[in-house]
Amino acid sequence: MSSSLLQAGLFNHKVIYGTRGKIVQSWISLLWPNSVLLLFSMRLIGCIEVTLLLRNAHKGQSWSTATPCRIFVGFGAGPEEYMWERFKNASPILSIRLDQTNPSTFGSIYRPNIIDLWRKVWCEAEIAFEVIMNTSIEPVQALRADYITQATTRLAQYAFFFQWWKGLNKDLKDIVFITPDIPAYACIDAGFPSVQFWQHGLLRKSLLFPPFKSLLLLTNAEVKYYKKLMPECDIVLDKSTLKVVNHNRTILFTSIYDTSDFKKITYIALLNGLCEWALQKKMQIVIRKHPCETDSFWENNFSRIKILSQKESIENTMLRVKPMLMITWFSTTLIDALRYNVVPVSINSMNECVVQDLIINLREHCLLWSENRDDIDQLVSGKTSVEKIINRLGKV
């Protein structure tokens, strides 16, 4: 289930849907509460979507899964190139990279049988329907239609990946996912017991995890949190030894992409104020757009600010640019900055739902643009140092 749905049940927030989700939600609402038609609709939608997934999983470049073999499953995340290189270089064994958002990367290895896919959708739809409709859990009872909608939109993906992994050679040396999403659940359910998770972004309390064998996490707060929830899991803190020295009078602003509940344009006044402040303090601002960011927000509204290449990793960017400050909203780059000896600053309100949902307490590990302006002014005026602020913020 999505974080939005879990938050809606626990905190009475509105469930947020994308375009596809809104269409399915409207259809489910139209049929509610006719149980026969609801279940049939779940199955029908699932079968149609899994057929389209199989069609898109066309044969591409052919790989061999002959033993020994290792598989890395990504989805186009910002630090994914760095993570893939790290995975690939960790062993001389053949490493294969897959993209869970691109079925053709899976089809290049193996394509499940369409009858098996339909059968899986048919069975899983009934299981999900019975559990949701008969549950005694109050937050689920209050949002049954939304849970049915969410299950319907995920049926095809689960069935496709379950049957794909089920048909694969089980003697794989390593399997790594960088998101605890439906494909990871399907992989573990299909019989692969040694699946790993490598963290790429800040984790939320409303995020559900499948039973991974091991977790590679970025912060002590997240390690502590998941050791309580998953005591049998091998959990390791990913430590960095790189450090920025001889900082320039530069602000690295790491942008993020717009979503249904986040729009950069709503921060235009704040960003203009930030630019005016930087000009007064003789600080240069450079923008690092998120690799998945495709809009022209910065070009259209801040044409005089330098925009960096999206191909360079955040680690290489920090080491090359050597910024004194790293500013963003609620990006994982706040933690990257702290680990690389750059002062992190958030322009978000700490009262926003997305910030409150994070496992790590951002207030403890970064400066806040709205509250810590004196500290930031002292830093750029030379009255304090990067090292002193980093030491005060503490290790993550």
**48 and 134 share one domain:** yes
pLDDT given at position 307: 93
Same structural domain for residues 183 and 299? no
Do residues 83 and 60 lie in contact, with contact meaning Cβ atoms separated by under 8 Å? no
Which among 11-15, 156-160, 256-260 has the top mean pLDDT? 156-160
pLDDT at 177: 98
Residue 35: enclosing H or E segment and its boundaries? Answer: helix 35-56
Q: Is the pLDDT of residue 172 over 70?
A: yes
| pLDDT at 66 > cutoff 70 | no
Structural domain count, the chain: 2
Between the CA of residue 357 and those of 137, 351, 360, what are the distances in Å?
A: 21, 10, 9
Judgement on whether residues 198 and 254 belong to the same structural domain of the protein: no
Report the pLDDT value the prediction gives residue 141, as an integer from 0 to 100: 87
In angstroms, what CA-CA distances link 133 with 129, 140, 208?
6, 9, 21
Q: Between 86 and 262, where is the model more confident?
A: 86
Rounded Cα–Cα distance for residues 303 and 193 (Å): 51
Share of the chain above pLDDT 90, in %: 67
* Beta strands across the sheet bearing 195-198: 95-99, 70-74, 174-177, 195-198, 214-217, 234-237
Please name the residue that has the structure tokens 């207030």: 363
Is the domain of 227 the same as that of 296?
no
Based on the domain organization, do 29 and 174 belong to the same domain? Answer: yes
Mean pLDDT over the full length of the chain: 90
Q: What is the CATH number of the domain that holds 273?
A: 3.40.50.2000
pTM: 0.88
Q: Which of 214, 237, 260 is the last residue of a domain?
A: 237
Looking at the structure, do residues 39 and 166 belong to the same domain, yes or no?
yes
Question: Is residue 347 pLDDT above 70, yes or no?
Answer: yes
Q: So what's the pLDDT on residue 60?
A: 54
103 has pLDDT over 70: yes
Is 17 part of a structural domain of the chain? yes
